[in-house]
Structure formats: C-alpha cells, structure tokens
Structure 1
Amino acid sequence: MKEFAQLDLSALSDVPVHPLNQDVFERFLAEIVAAASTHALPEALEKPSEVLPQFLAAAFSLSPYLADCFRASPALLDEVDKPLLPQVEQQIDIARNSWKQDNETAPRSDSAIMQTLRLAKRRVAFLTALADLAGLSSPEQTTALLSDFAEASVAATVDHLLFSAGAEGHLALQDMKNPSHASGVVVLGMGKLGACELNYSSDIDIVVFFEPEAPVVKDSDRVRSLFPRLMRRLVHILQERTGDGYVFRTDLRLRPDPGSTALAIPVEAALLYYESRGQNWERAAFIKARPIAGDLKAGETFMREMVPFIFRKYLDYAAISDIHSIKRQIHAHKGFGLVAVNGHNVKLGRGGIREIEFFAQTQQLIAGGRMPQLRCRRTVDALNALREARWIDAKTCEELTDAYWFLRSIEHRIQMVRDEQSHILPDDDAELLRIAHMSRYESYEAFSNALLHALHTVERRYARLFERETTLSGESGNLVFTGEDDDPGTLETLKGLGFERPADIARIVRSWHYGRYRSTQSTKARQRLTEIMPDLLKAFGESRRAEEAFSRFDRFLAGLPAGVQLFSLLKNNIGMLRLVVEIMSAAPRLAEIIADRAHIVDGMLDPALMTELPTREYLSRRLDAFMSGVVLYEERLDRLRIFAAEQRFLIGIRLMTGAINGFAAGKAFTTLASLVIGEALDGVLGEMKSAHGEADGQRVAVLAMGKLGSGELTAGSDVDVIVLYDCDDPLGQTSGPKQLEVPRYFARLTQRLVAALSAPTAEGVLYEVDMRLRPSGNAGPLATRISAFEKYQRNDAWTWEHMALSRAHPICGDEALMADTSAVIKEIMALPRERPKLIDDISSMRARIERDKPAKSIWDLKLIPGGLIDIEFLAQYCHLAAPDAVKAGQAEPLSTDDVLATYGAQVMSAGDIETCRKALSLYTDIAQLTRACLTERFDPENAPAGLLERVCRLGDCPDVKALEALIRDTSGGVRAVFKRISPLASSSSEH
C-alpha cells in the first residue's frame, strides 16, 4: 500500500468519475462549498472550481450512502486533503483498543464500545470508498483494509466480553490487560474475512469454539452456557442498528450443524464433528479460515488439527462433484443461467466471482494434501500457487486474477450505492449507468463490453474445469444401456467407436448399471459412471484390441470397494481418463496396483508427473512430507510401503508413457529403494536402541550390491545388501536394559532390517532382500564388521566377488562409515590383476551360467548369448582390468553404461564399446518397460496389445517380428565382442 499511503485526494489532476447527472452534481457541489465554510473544512473545498470538491460532488451524486454520511457528519471531510491511509489505520487502531477502560477493574459498557466502533466504521467506510472511487487504492487494498477493520472490531469485542466476564467473576483471566490470553476461546474468520478479501458492505462470517479446560475456566460445566451467551452479546454489539449505524452484520451459521448447536462449541466436539460428519463444502470453507480474535495461539492449534480434514492425503474425488453441485444449485435456485449485464449477479451468476473461487478451491482440495504450497487463503494467492505448481498455465492465472479484481471492484460499487449487501447489477439502464460511472466508464456500452469480456473469460475457464457435460445421445450416437435387450443404435455406436464385439461391451456396461459390483452399487456411483461413459468408451475404442483393454477395466471395477471417487475424478479430468485407459491397455501390473490401492491415483494428478524427473531431491522431498508426524514403528513401516508402492507405480507410468527411458527408470527405482531402506534403517536403529541400547562408538551402514548398487533396479527387483558395522569393542556388550553381545546385537539389527523391508504387512511387502553377496555368503555372519569386510575382500574374495564389488555402493547409515566403506571399495578395485586370469575366470562363469541356466527364448534378454549378462561381464572386466591411473578419484559406483563409457577404452575398441552401449540401451528400455507393466515374463503371444506397440516403438520397429530380428542382430554383435575379448567364450553354446 506504499502508493496509497503517499497519495491524497488533493493530488487528483481531474475528476476520475462522471457524476450521475449535472443537476445533482451541482447541488452537491454547492453543499460541499457551504459546509466547508460552516464547519472549518479544508480550504480547497471552498473553491467549486477545484478538482477535490468536484470529485466529492460527483461521488455523492453516484452514492446516496456517501452523501448521507457527509450530511450526517460533515466532519468526515476535515482531513480529506491529507493522505487517507494513515487516517484509516488510525480508525483501525481505535477500533482495536475500544474495549480498554479507564478503570482497570470496571469494564466499559456495551453501549460505549458500540458507539466507538460505529463511528470508526463510518469513517473507514467513507474514506476507503473515496480512495477506491478516486483510483488511489486498488480493490486488493480496499478489501485488505476492510478486513483489518473487521478483525480489529471482532477482536476488541471479544476482549471486552471476556474482560466483563472476568470482572463479574465468571472467568479467571490470566492477564487483565490481555483478556484473550490463554482463554481457550477460538474465533475464526471465515470466507472473505478469513482471506482478507472483505466486501465493502459484507456480512462477516465467524465461528467460535472454546476449550472447557482452559486456564480461565472456573467451572467447565457452567462455561458451556457462558460462552454462547457472550457470543449473543457479540452479535448484538456488532450488528444492532443504532443512531450511529451498525458495525457488521454477523453470521455464525458456518459452525457445525447450526440448527442444533449453540453459538459457541467446545473444541473437542467441533473436531469430532469435522472428523466424522464434515461435508465437502465445509472443507472448502475452511480453506479461508483464519484465527482473528480470542486466544490466537489456541486458534492456530485448532487450524493445525483441521489440516487433515481440509487437505486430505488421499482425496475423495467426489469433492469435485460436490462443490460443482453447489454451483449448479445456485444457478437453479437463482435462475442465473446466462451471462448478462442488466440484473446479473457478479458474485453467484455465470462467470462471476464464485466461479473463480470454486476454480481455485477445488484444485486446492485436490492437491493441497500433497502440496502444502497450495494452502492459500486468498483466491489470487491460490491462483498464483496453482500456476507455480503448474496446475494451471500463466495465461489462465492472469485472466482469472484480472477478472477477479475487476468483478470485486464492480461488487464494491454496487454496495457503495446504498450500503447494501447486494451483488446484483441494476436491471434499469439508468441505474446501471450509475455503476458504470462509479467504475470510471463514460458510457453504458463501454462498461458493458468490459463486464461481458470478464464474465465470458471466467465462464470459459470454469467450464473447462467443471462443466464438460456429457449426454447419452451426443456426437458419437446412442449410448443406452437400460433394459435387458441391446439397443440397436447403441451397438452401431459401439462398432463405430472401434469395438469388434459391441454386444459383449453392452453386456458388461449393463452389468455395471445393475450394480453387480460394489463399485457401482450406489446411485451416485452409477450417475457418475453414466456421465463419463461416452468419453470412456471413446478412449477404449481408440486402443488396439479394445475388448481386451475394456475387460481388464471391468476386472478392475470388480475389485474396487467403491466407485464414486474414481468416476468423479475421471469425469473432471479427461487426461486422467485417457491415462487410465492406457494402463488398462498396456500394463496389467499397473492396473493391479490401482485395483489394490485406489488412492494411488492421487499421485497421477501431479501436473509435473510427466515433466519432472524423479530425482533424489524430488523423491526425498516427497518422502519427508509423507513421513511427517509418524511416531510408531509399525506406522513407519506401513507408510514406507504405501510411499514405495505409489512411487514405483508413478515411475512405471512415466516409463509406459515414454516420459523417461530405461536408464532413467533404473536410477529412479534405485533412488527410491535407497531412500526407503535408509528410512527403515533409522526406524530399526531407534527400536534397537530402545530395547538394547547401543554399542560404544557404534556405526552402521548398508552397502548396496547388484543392481541396487549400480543404479539399475527394475520395478520388481530384489535388493542385494550387506550390513556393515564398526564399534569400539567388538567383544563388548550394549548399554541398554536388555544387553546383548556386540556380534549378536548387530546380527539382530540386520534381522530386524530385513524384516522391516520384506515382512508382509497390511500394506504389502517393500522389497525382497538378498544378502548372499556378503562375505562367505550364507555361511557368513549376517552383519559384517568393516575391518573383516576389508580383510575378506583383500585376501579371500573370488573374482566374481570383486566383479560384484565393482557395483557396490553404500546407500545409508553412518556417514563416516559410508566414507570408509567407499575408500575400501576404491582400494580393492585398484588392486593389480592379471588380465589372462581375469578373462579366464569371467569366461568360465559365463559358460557355467549358459550351461546351467540357458535362455528360454529370444526375449530372455538377460540370459541370451550377447544379452545383458554378457554386457555386464564385459563392463566389470573393463572396470577390474583398467589401470590404476584411470581409476584415480573414481570413488562413486557407476552403472553398466557408465562403466563402459569410463573404462571401456582401456580394453575395447570404440566400435565394440558403441555396440555394447547401444545393445544395453535397447535391452534396458525393453526390460524396464515390460517389468513395470507385467507381473509375468514378457511373451509377445500373450502380451497386451498396447504394450506390444510400445515395445516395438522402443526398437523403432513396425511389428514384433522386426523387433525380434533386431534383437538377434544386436545380441549377435555383443556376443562377437565378448568372444574377441574372451576367446574362451567361443566354446560356449550358441542360442
């Protein structure tokens, strides 16, 4: 408000508003000049040729309310030539302190505070209206000032009432100079008051709760009748009309079940109501709720308790339809069917303020549980947050923000005319011209054009989000599924949509409408399903082998416990509907995950899903948010399972849609596993410490092996790990109440970690854990001391164990031990090796695998000659055989592709490296995609049509036969490289 603070009406160079008519204007100009001399007003008002008196005359001609204020109290103009903001702020301070009394023990009378507040309100309303009409303050500044004054008035009244109750002995106030301190009285500003967006002549919506056990309460039973009585006095003080007017019409009907509850409700009862019976419209209302009076600390605590109710981690998607149904009911009840000018309601009508608010609030409800930055009270702040989160584009944000403030400005002017809480433009053209002139438009036409542009803009944006209505007989043709017999027109429509067996599809859809599944038993679910049916059938019809995909969706619905949420979501998000169809067409594994965990669909709503890579920072941020507030160990494990399942699913979605390739998916799956294992380790360490204490100087770390170590996990991979530890006394005991010998302690810790990851709970299994790569395999101890690990790797490890070590990577635990482990691995990797022996060992291992576990088909990309094992063995050979100088400074583990790029040139030609890397890329893309989408081994004969298409695209092949030929050529090239590096491989069997 910096500019507003520095400007006053005397700075006007011309009259910014046109008077209603010349006669009325001249009459008011004469009155102002006369009053200036009679009441010693600023000299500028005595000169009718000056801009200031002409502006005031024009304003009074347009607003009977301002004219009446002037006539009742000409002194309102006594400082009109000075900056207005300090004057308004002074009145806000007067209001806030109006409860304070001269006598510290005797409260002011209700009538005294009523008069103080009313006089302050009149001056605030008068000055803010003039500043607004003159263009010195924006609608944003006007709403903020009006809200500040309302907050000050409510807070002062509450302090007055509490002080009075304390003086009468009903309450034991903790601080007579601050009656609300520790009072437990929670007063929330709701609606536009809570969001600091108050209208010029608005009612104020508040709700009041209290703590019966607060320190001020003397008798918790009597206080249940005391606080409602005090609230009746509050309403009387604020809204009773006296000779000085009123302060604010006050509405407490947003409290729980207002028809049967008192004006003030115990906090516990309120929270119980919202938890068990709260409605979606109440969730939307509480987005703007804000503590404005009473015990502000208790108010903030109450709002924190309400967050899970308002912003759910797993959204009830029916909220979208519920909120939109409120809008439809408004239209039906009020008859606001069309955008218009004359008689249009700029708040509730089509294209009005409420549509902008609903546009923002609905999306806040959708995503606010996962994205705290969307929990904004002000509508324009919410729009900006949605833009920054990429839920809406910049143009939508700009258009709706501009329209919002334009319509709020018009709303203010409607109310400035006679200080009425109206939002309806006049029907009469002459009266409408009054609003046009107050809005600084010269003509009705110019005002009408600007208003219609804003209304149509809002209506268009709102309609795209909410009102994409579907019908049973639309562009596609008939879609009727009632009765027992097939409708011929419907069968024809289904055939035209792409279904080869339309009668089968009609039979399935009829079974849904008969409510044969739990998900379609409710009336509302079937209604939502009917609304999405045209788009659903069209999307499935466009997929190859449409009946197969549709049948999979049918099986999905059969397993759902309820359908309203999903159907409401799909109705309001056509992109989501198409993605679900893609999943059903191409990815049975992902379809099963959705069926088992319906809430997992929440994550698919993130606008950045397809554009933002699931990096460590991305996943870590989301894991921290998801785990916040977890206390119990069992809850930690369940939360980890939920989070991991959801994120694996979302990585699979990215893979399926081509948003990421196989290498990126491997890194994402690995990063996810690393974070989850780290979180599980923290939980296990905490449990072990509680039960057994700690070993002196203990350090624990988890060493990732295999694909977990090299960043190449797939959707269904096990995790290979080794648990390492160190401590001061390896033969000592722990410090806790149930002491354990150190080796036993770390063995038990390892067992607990494995159980934390692999034990099935109600939320499933995190990961299958394989620890066979630890020193001495299954014969060795479960946990290995770092010194023993180093000794084993230096003196006893086989070549294959050093090959495995080349992929090792410490992923979590004590940072110092992780650094020591990395140093050990680096030293082991740098040990000198004889290439002939290395080649011999590697060739023998490959031959043994090929003999004992041959590939079952060309699609066994890991085991086929020239497949993934060949490439991995070549990469590991390059790593182990590379000179020490090349390895200098290389402490971090590398993926197979990174190893080929980094070390390959030491033992392979550039052409051979390129052959292997291209093959690895193709194999990885296919393997990652098929394992993310399928629960079983990939077989083209049985694979979903949608998946086959995607797999073929990975090789840029027109069909499966061409892709098989490509794989044979590719694997042949890799096997030739393997033979060149390892001549012994020529004795291996060929595929």
Structure 2
Amino acid sequence: MSSRSTHGTDYQPTAEQLQILRTASEFAYQIWESRTVSCQTFLRSYPLDQTLTRQQIDDLIQDYTLDENYQLADEAKVMSGLRHLRTLLMMRWIWQDALHMIALEQLTDELSEFADGCISFAKNYTYQHLIKKYGEPTFINAQGQVQTDDMAIMAMGKLGAHELNLSSDIDLIFVHQARGETNGDKTKGTRSIDNKRFMTRLGQGIIKLLDNNTADGFVFRVDMRLRPWGDGSDLAIHLSALQKYFSLHGRAWERFAWLKARVVGHIEPPFYEAIQALIKPFVFRYYVDYSAFSALREMKSLIQNQVVQREDLDNIKLGAGGIRDVEFIVQAFQLIYGGRHPQLQIKSCLQAMQALYTLEYLERSTYEQLQAAYRFLRRLEHGIQAINDQQTQRLPHDRQWQHNLAITLGFADWEGLLSTLNHHRHNVNVPFERMVTERQIPDHEDTDLEPEQLDEQIARLNEVLTKDNRELLQGFWQSKMVANLSDEARERLDDAYPVIVHALLAHQEQQQLANTALPRLISLLEAICRRSIYLVMIAENPNATIELIPMLSASPWIAKELAQYPVLLDTFLQQRYRHLPDKLELRDILRQQLLRVEPNDEEKLLSVLRLFKKNQVLAVAASDVLAERPIMKVSDSLTYIAAVVLEAALERAFAEIVKRYGYPIGQDGDPVTEADCGFAIIGYGKLGGLELSYSSDLDLVFLHKIKEQGMTTGEKSVSGMKFAARLVQKLMNYLNTQTRDGRAYEIDMRLRPSGNAGMMVVSCHAFETYQMDKAWSWEHQALVRARAICGDKRVTARFCDIRREVLSLPRTIEQVRTEVTSMRIKMQKHLGTSQWQQQAGKFHLKQDAGGIIDIEFLAQFAVLAYSHDHPSLTKWSDNVRIFEEMALLGIWDQQVCQDLTDAYLRIRAATHQLALSEQSLLVDESLWKETRALVQDQWQRLMGVDDAEDTP
C-alpha cells in the first residue's frame, strides 16, 4: 500500500495560497476548482511541504491502475488512472513551485522519477499482454543457449539527465538484445513472431499508454526521433545493429544526444554492460576531441535557423543565451575532455558544471554565472509551462500573464523580470559565442577532397561536362548571387563544393547522367545558398551527395521539389528512402511531429502536414528512381501517406470544431467522442484503389452518423448538420489551402451524392438511399474503387455494408456490358487522343483504347456483373486483386486475368516514371503495340464490342 501522511482532515489552503496558485497557473487552478475534493484528499496524503520518494511514486502508480477489486485494471482504466494521477501531481508540483516550497533539483527529480515509474509500468503491463499472445521473445546467445530477449528503454535528453521539466515530452529509444523469435505455441493458444515485431508492438504499447491524448489528457508526450535513422526507421533496434550504426553512421550531433542516455528501470547486468560498452566509446573519445567544437557550431547554426524561421526570438530555450546554450557549453567540454576525465561522464548539467569547475576547465566567474543563469532559466521555464500545461519556452505575450509570471517569480513587474533575464542571457551568450567562434584546430577535411587536389578534380570534371555545362558552372561562380553571399554562406559553399565535385566525378563513366544532373544541381545550389545551413548538410554527407546525382538526373520533378522546398533535402542526405515506413510507422512519425504543435497554432499544423507529406513522398520517389521498389509497393506507400495525413487532419479538425461548438449528438442519442466521432472519410479513385501516384489528387466523400437536427453540447450550440459542414470545411482548409509549403493534397469532392450540387457531407442513410434509388450506373462503377480511409469504425463499417449491398445488386451481364461500354466511349471522345492527324503514331497510356482506363473498366465490369452471385468480389477496391478473385472463382480464365494484371502494372509503372521525369503520357505507340493489342483483344472478347471506333 501507499506510504501516505495520515492527517485526519482534508487539506484546506489559505486564501493567500489559493491566490498564488491562481496567479501562477490557469491550468492548476482549474484542476483545483473542478476537482476540489480529490485535490484536498490527495494533498492530505501528500502535503505540499513534503517531498515525494520513488517508492511513494511507484505506490501511487499502482494505486491508480487497480480496479475496484484491487486487481490490475483493463487498458482503458489503466490509461485513465495514469492520466488522473498525472493531473493531481501536476497540480501539486505547480503549487509547490509557486510557493517556493520545492528546490529546482528536487522538482526535476520527482518529475523524472514519475516518468521512470510510468515507463516501467507501461513496459511491464504491455509485455504481460503480449506474451499471452505470442510467448516470450528469445534468441540464441554466444554460448548457443536459448535466452529471453529483453528491451532496454533508453531515456534521452532531460529525462536521461533526471532534469525533466513540468511539461516536457520524453525522448526515448528502444534497444533489445538480438534477433530471434518468440516461443509461442499454438497448442497453448500463442503464436510465434520474430523479435523485431514483438519489440515493435511492445514499444507501440508503451507509447499508447503514455502518449495517447484521451478525454483525460495524456501522461507524457513520447518522442522517438532520436533513435538511429530517425523517423521511419524501426521502432526498436537490436544491439548489433546499434553497434553498426555507431561505427558507420553515427553523426557528431548524436554524441551530444547519447551523452545523456540512461536505461530506465531494471535490465540484467550483462545486457546493461553491453549497452554501456557501445555508448561510452561513441560519446567519449580516448583523446582530447576538439571536433566537438565543429559539431557545436553547426548545431547552433541549425537551431538559430529554426528560431529565425519560426520567428521564435523570445524562446528562452533556443534563443541566444538560452537554456540550450548553457547545455551546449557544458556538453562540448564533456565530449572534449570526458575521455580523459571519467568524472565528466555524468548526465546532470549542474553536476557536470561543478565537475568542469573542479577540473579548472571553467573559471570561477564563468561557472557562477552559468550556474545562476541555468537555475533562473529553468525556473522561468517552469513558470511559463505552468500557465497552461503547454510544452513551450516562449515568453507570454499576454500582458496579464506577463504580470502574473513576474509576481510568481518574485519580481515587482514584467520589466524587472526582463532585465534579470537579459542579464543572465548575456552572461551565457558571451562564453558560448567565444566557444563557437574561436577556431580550436583546423577543420577536419576528407583526404579525398583536400584543397591541393581540388584543381585536379575540377579539371577532370571539365572533361566530363559538355561545353554548355562548363559555361553554366562558370556562370554560377561568376553570378551576382554568389558574389553577394555573406562571408558565412560563401565559406559554407566553398566547403560543400569539393563534395559536389567528388559526387559528380563518381559518375564520370556515365557522362550523360552527370551532364543531365548538373543544371538541376545548380538550380538547387542557387536555392539553398539563401539558406546556407543546407550547404553544411551537403558538406557533411559526401556519400549521400553521390547518390543524389542520379536522382537529379532521372527526375526533374525531384529536382524542382528540392529547389522549391530545400528543407526536404534532409530526407535525401539522411538516405531515409532506404527504408519506406509502413502505415503504422508513418502514423507514429507524424504523431511525433505533431507533438509540438499547440492546439491553436493552425499555421504550424498546416506546415507540419505539408512537409510530412512532401518528405515522405520524396522518399518514395527516390526509392522508385533507384528501382528498389515494385510499382505496387510504391503505390501502397503513397496511399499510406495520404491515409495517415487524412487521419491526423480529421482528428485535429474534429477537436477544433468541438472546442468551438461542443460535441454533436450521435444517432444513439448520446454525444459522440474523439474515439467514436461519428464521421468517416471515404476514398474513391486512386486513393480508394490503393493506386496513388506522385501528383494524384484525392477523391473524397464524407459520411456521418449523427443527429442532423440535434444540437451540440457547447455553449455556442449548433445543429449536427452545421457541425458536420464546419468539420468538412476545416478539413478542406487543412488539406487544400495553399501555403508557403504548398498544399497537402488537392481534394476533389465531385463523386459525392449529387456531385457538385450535393451536400459536402451526408448521413450513412442518405448515402444508402442515393446509391440504391438515384445513382447513375457510372456512380456504381466509381463505388467499385471506393474504400473507407479513416474515422469512426461504426461509420466505416456501415459504408462497407452499403457498398457491398449496392455492388451485389442483381444486374444482367448484358445490361452492365452496355452501360460500361457506353461510358467508356463517352470518356474516350472527351479525353482520348482524338486529333490523329497531329498525333499519328502516339498512344495515351491512360485514356486511349488499350490503356489503363480500359483495364480499370474491365475490373469494374467484373464486379458489377458478377458480384450478385459471387459476393467475395466486393471485398476488393483495387484492380489487381479483383482480377485475382475473378481467376480464383473461375469466372475468367487465369491467363486472361494474369495478362490484364501484367499489362496494368507495366503501364502504371511507366506512368510513374513519366511523372517523375515530367513527361506526357502521350508516348510512342510502337513501343506499346504488344501490350495495347493484348488489352484491346481482351476488351473485345469480354465486352463483345470495340471500345475505340476512332482507333487508327
């Protein structure tokens, strides 16, 4: 049981204490007001003037995750219990801090201990559930014996250093021991899976328990982006892969990150020692390591670029003289001298500062100024975050909260606080700037790219380049743009140029490739010189730059995207296209990117959605160019990206409209919830058919299952129908609005009931009535390629039922054949190659007879004509699996289905490549005679009529 104080009455604060809480935190005061009895009971057991031990925290976690029978609760109750506990603890910590009843180190330690306790609980809880399904993960150890695999949860950043702040997210990395598989046994009701899948599911379960934002809030926002390879990589990495990563791919900035890495909870000593044996030599060199200064300079430049880009100059963490600068000073000294001085191999910033002073690496005055500044900045950070429990380090702009923050921190007014803040920032900025601007030793240079060899390499490059390209390159260097670069930007361009020359020469045997790439490369350089930090990225990634050249050569589309949005360059230089994440991984990547988007920051939300989509699509394109993925996998990835963006947009849009109007009433008479929101997004066309390309728009239909005339629960109440319309408008704004980052997707809603004349969103009942009674035959064709994408499972399930019922309606084969053929002829007359005199010898891969549309229409004909007798045909919305099902059912000959599938995939692959090279789908007919003839023959045989009377 919990170790609690036994005061006989509930806690009664004084009026002054309540006023202090109200002044310090709107968030904590609302908790007190809305849950007074719970807060009083909690503070009776855990008074404000006492500290919390780890044992007490663990006892609390146990108490709040038990059910009424003192048994471990189900997942929903566990999640709710942890969130209620977090709410009460946050109220207590904020109040203690405002009353100056808790020291900085004690506060950050208790916050970190609570995070550790929750992580350990979440790991154990999820593990027990998983082994009931799959058995325990095992591997064969070095002695040839079977051993249980375990996961070490690495706490990074502030949690790793036991320095968590009030509204921190937690940076985690999951490491397990080795490849292997679980010992599942079907006879015992379990099944075996590989350790990678087990550990991925374990990690996902931990994240879900802690991070999911439910009606009760969240426990901790979980950020996994520090793991090797970052976004899109495996969620858990085994030891040998981590060792390989550190040896071959570990970057300088990652040494700063891993310096604070700490194992959360208990693991067996040999596993712990193996992890430390990898981390220590990666972070700490056995010599005095001045390269840390170079890494520090570039990291600071990256952060300053982000601060300016976000216009976040009031940021006390990232701005000049802020918290990050203090940490950088200390960490740089730790990396430089830590190999020689084990006493510097510690994680706490304050303790490391003390050690640096003791070792005389910091002068007394600098040490005292940094200590004072760090303590002040961290207290100020807590004060800012306490206001509304937001993960921000920006000074408030609201005058009332400026005044409140000043009073809470002991100042008479805001001006007094700012004066002290500026004093401390100055004391931090001076030693930091001295550290990053002084050249400690000459910059390290790749021996293959030494300056004395550069002239020789340029001469070799000139032999490879055409005359026009040599003049183009010379013109770039003589341009006004280069002449007007700042000293810093010009230095970075000079550093990157040998890497660029080296990359071009790596392809000298393929002269056409280098010559095609060069003009596009110069356009890219002209764009990134304006944001010269990207030149640093090129200079630091010579191998990736070599691989960038064939991509630029193969695809002007990729080149233009990079030139227009240089921020996407990181995807290429980090070679993220090597691993295309699946849908679950994509969802997790976007979730983590949205962690730092405040609910009311719509501009940031739109930017995150757009850059996520662009980064992921470009990674797919790079993979496509390198011919590392078949067309089906490419389209799957593009479709998953769209689905994940739609999911996130729907979730945010729903939350925003609910905040404005309250919850709508579901058709069962109760208000809907975030989990069962009463809405769904249906994808038609290429999205529905899992066949998206790079420039595809999204054909969407929106369905709901709410009471249209019922009123929402908010103070500003509106009808359910109005709520639904506002929700779709907000979604369209999130997806379709043109910003500086472009659009997320072009949205086409013309396939909704009644087309452009119809409502933007309709009920499931109205959709069913329309499909059954009013829809044209071509709309039933479109329904073949429709699929529920995201939303309320009840709505998506109802859509699937309606779709199956409509597609399975009794139809005669002749009736379907006539209607499909008629529609095909109409489409071709409007969209096909009609001016044969001007287009002789050309073939439009999509619209002409024998092209993609013919194949798609054959699939739609098959579903509409045969589903009444063979309902399994309605399971699929993509052409390939429809043909597979037709062959399986024996309706069409297997060879016919295979021929159509092969033709379809060949044409689709060609359309993808043409899109990447920005070429028309109008191609040389002679190259496609065999494929086109095959499709036309099958059309004539299956449909009994030529579909192209104007075919030459």
Task: Give TM-score scaled by structure 2 length.
Answer: 0.54
Partner of 1:652: 621
Q: Which moved more, 1:555-564 or 1:774-783?
A: 555-564
Deviations for 1:276-326, whole angstroms, at most 9, x for unmatched residues? xxxxxxxxxx9888887xxx566787896999xxx99899x9xxxxxxxxx
State the secondary structure of the residue aligned to 2:568.
helix
> Where do 5+ consecutive residues of structure 2 fail to align?
1-47, 57-93, 107-154, 174-222, 230-242, 265-270, 289-336, 345-357, 361-443, 667-671, 673-677
Q: Which moved more, 1:891-900 or 1:465-474?
A: 465-474
Partner of 2:694: 715
Distance 1:527 1:650, change over 3 A: same
Give, in angstroms, the shift of residue 756 of structure 1. 1.9
Paired with 1:778 and 1:549, the residues of 2 have a C-alpha distance of 44
Paired with 2:823 and 2:894, the residues of 1 have a C-alpha distance of 25
Give, in angstroms, the shift of residue 849 of structure 1. 1.3
- Say yes or no: does 1:836 pair with 2:814: yes
Partner of 1:531: 498
The aligned amino acid for 1:901 is E
Specify which of 855, 879, 894 is matched with residue 896 of structure 1. 879
Specify which of 595, 598, 623 is matched with residue 631 of structure 1. 598
Deviations for 1:40-97, whole angstroms, at most 9, x for unmatched residues? xxxxxxxxxxxxxxxxxxxxxxxxxxxxxxxxxxxxxxxxxxxxxxxxxxxxxxxxxx
State the secondary structure of the residue aligned to 1:731.
coil
Give, in angstroms, the shift of residue 896 of structure 1. 1.1
The aligned amino acid for 2:756 is N
The aligned amino acid for 1:713 is L
The aligned amino acid for 1:722 is V
Deviations for 1:500-525, whole angstroms, at most 9, x for unmatched residues? 55641551353379824759973422
Distance 1:797 1:513, change over 3 A: closer
Give, in angstroms, the shift of residue 474 of structure 1. 3.3
The aligned amino acid for 1:470 is L
The aligned amino acid for 1:804 is A
Contact between 1:693 and 1:736, CA under 8 Å: does it hold in 2?
yes
Distance 1:723 1:543, change over 3 A: farther
Distance 1:521 1:555, change over 3 A: farther
- Say yes or no: does 1:363 pair with 2:332: no
Specify which of 652, 663, 677 is matched with residue 683 of structure 1. 652
Distance 1:620 1:892, change over 3 A: farther
User: Could you say what the CA RMSD is over the residues aligned between the two structures, in angstroms?
Assistant: 5.0
Paired with 2:500 and 2:163, the residues of 1 have a C-alpha distance of 50
Paired with 1:502 and 1:867, the residues of 2 have a C-alpha distance of 39
Q: Which moved more, 1:972-981 or 1:538-547?
A: 538-547
The aligned amino acid for 1:899 is I
- Say yes or no: does 1:794 pair with 2:772: yes
- Say yes or no: does 1:965 pair with 2:926: yes
Distance 1:919 1:474, change over 3 A: same
- Say yes or no: does 1:673 pair with 2:652: no
Contact between 1:356 and 1:404, CA under 8 Å: does it hold in 2?
no
- Say yes or no: does 1:600 pair with 2:588: no
Specify which of 544, 562, 567 is matched with residue 576 of structure 1. 544
Contact between 2:172 and 2:224, CA under 8 Å: does it hold in 1?
no
State the secondary structure of the residue aligned to 1:562.
helix
Paired with 1:768 and 1:511, the residues of 2 have a C-alpha distance of 40
Q: Which has the larger radius of gyration?
A: 1
Distance 1:466 1:882, change over 3 A: farther
1:784-823 equivalence runs, <5 A: 784-823=762-801
1:469-868 equivalence runs, <5 A: 469-474=448-453, 477=456, 479=458, 490=459, 493-501=460-468, 503-508=470-475, 510-511=477-478, 515-516=482-483, 518=485, 522-539=489-506, 541=508, 542-544=510-512, 546-562=514-530, 564-606=532-574, 609-610=577-578, 612-633=579-600, 634=602, 635-697=604-666, 699-727=678-706, 729-855=707-833, 858=842, 860-868=844-852
Partner of 1:377: 260
Partner of 1:982: 943
Partner of 1:230: none
The aligned amino acid for 2:571 is G
Paired with 1:401 and 1:925, the residues of 2 have a C-alpha distance of 43
Paired with 1:552 and 1:305, the residues of 2 have a C-alpha distance of 38
Contact between 1:520 and 1:563, CA under 8 Å: does it hold in 2?
no
State the secondary structure of the residue aligned to 1:544.
helix
Paired with 1:177 and 1:766, the residues of 2 have a C-alpha distance of 47
The aligned amino acid for 2:902 is K
1:102-501 equivalence runs, <5 A: 174=49, 214=97, 363=251, 365=253, 375=258, 377=260, 467-474=446-453, 477=456, 479=458, 490=459, 493-501=460-468
Q: Which moved more, 1:633-642 or 1:563-572?
A: 563-572
Paired with 2:828 and 2:255, the residues of 1 have a C-alpha distance of 51
**Runs of at least 4 residues of structure 1 off by over 6 A?**
286-292, 299-307, 311-315, 355-361, 396-415
Contact between 1:500 and 1:547, CA under 8 Å: does it hold in 2?
no
Paired with 1:683 and 1:584, the residues of 2 have a C-alpha distance of 36
Paired with 2:469 and 2:926, the residues of 1 have a C-alpha distance of 36
Paired with 1:674 and 1:839, the residues of 2 have a C-alpha distance of 33
Contact between 1:719 and 1:767, CA under 8 Å: does it hold in 2?
yes
Give, in angstroms, the shift of residue 705 of structure 1. 0.8
Contact between 2:784 and 2:863, CA under 8 Å: does it hold in 1?
yes
Q: Which moved more, 1:357-366 or 1:730-739?
A: 357-366
Deviations for 1:787-809, whole angstroms, at most 9, x for unmatched residues? 11111111222221111111111
Distance 1:638 1:298, change over 3 A: closer
Give, in angstroms, the shift of residue 643 of structure 1. 0.7
Q: Paired residues, what number?
A: 587
1:867-906 equivalence runs, <5 A: 867-884=851-868, 886-888=870-872, 892-904=875-887, 906=890
Give, in angstroms, the shift of residue 753 of structure 1. 1.8
The aligned amino acid for 2:464 is L
Give, in angstroms, the shift of residue 717 of structure 1. 0.7
Distance 1:361 1:646, change over 3 A: closer
State the secondary structure of the residue aligned to 1:908.
coil
Give, in angstroms, the shift of residue 883 of structure 1. 4.5
Task: Give TM-score scaled by structure 1 length.
Answer: 0.52
Paired with 1:606 and 1:656, the residues of 2 have a C-alpha distance of 17
Distance 1:376 1:660, change over 3 A: farther
Contact between 2:224 and 2:592, CA under 8 Å: does it hold in 1?
no
Contact between 2:785 and 2:878, CA under 8 Å: does it hold in 1?
yes
> Where do 5+ consecutive residues of structure 1 fail to align?
1-172, 182-210, 228-285, 318-354, 369-373, 382-387, 389-393, 423-464, 480-489, 941-960
Give, in angstroms, the shift of residue 981 of structure 1. 1.2
The aligned amino acid for 2:879 is T
Distance 1:854 1:357, change over 3 A: closer
Partner of 1:913: 897
Give, in angstroms, the shift of residue 217 of structure 1. 5.1
State the secondary structure of the residue aligned to 1:560.
helix
Contact between 1:731 and 1:741, CA under 8 Å: does it hold in 2?
yes
Give, in angstroms, the shift of residue 685 of structure 1. 1.2
Give, in angstroms, the shift of residue 965 of structure 1. 2.9
- Aligned identity (percent) is 21
Paired with 1:559 and 1:831, the residues of 2 have a C-alpha distance of 57
Distance 1:863 1:650, change over 3 A: same
Contact between 1:615 and 1:668, CA under 8 Å: does it hold in 2?
yes
Contact between 1:520 and 1:526, CA under 8 Å: does it hold in 2?
no
State the secondary structure of the residue aligned to 1:851.
helix
The aligned amino acid for 2:928 is I
Paired with 1:677 and 1:716, the residues of 2 have a C-alpha distance of 16
